[in-house]
Amino acid sequence: MFFAIVLLVLGTMIRNPTSMVWPDAINDEYRGVIKITRYPIQWSIMLYAIAHLIANADKASIVLFGTLGLVALLGTFAMDTKKRALNDPKWQSFLDSTSMFHSQR
């Protein structure tokens, strides 16, 4: 849960072009948590769901937190697909410069 909370807080504090709040952030330099993942809040939700699945193994929790985690995971791929389809050079550069989750390049 610690990492989920950290990602949530950092994700809300930085201008992220994938956020509905700052669509003009596509022109900004990519820094902070965006260098780790372009979807910090989605990863926060996934980690939250995984932590709660581990702690609660009853059927209702599996349905609730499993669905929550799955929607967050599939949402990251859906957002990537949608942005790639725009064929906007700024978005292509953003998608090529960042990752779903940090990897050595």
Q: CB-based contacts of 26: which residues, under 8 Å, 6+ apart?
A: 17, 90, 91, 94
Is residue 105 in some structural domain?
no
pLDDT one-digit tens code per residue, 44-64: 999 999 999 999 989 999 999
The answer to whether the CB of 72 falls within 8 A of the CB of 46 is yes
Is residue 12 in some structural domain?
yes
Distance (Å, whole) CA 56 – CA 78 = 28
Identify the pLDDT of residue 103. Answer: 53
Is residue 25 in some structural domain?
yes
Domain count, the chain: 1
pLDDT one-digit tens code per residue, 2-33: 999 999 998 888 888 877 776 677 777 777 78
- pTM strictly above 0.75: yes
Residue 6 structural domain: 2-97
Identify the pLDDT of residue 49. Answer: 95
The answer to whether the CB of 45 falls within 8 A of the CB of 74 is no
Is residue 102 in some structural domain?
no
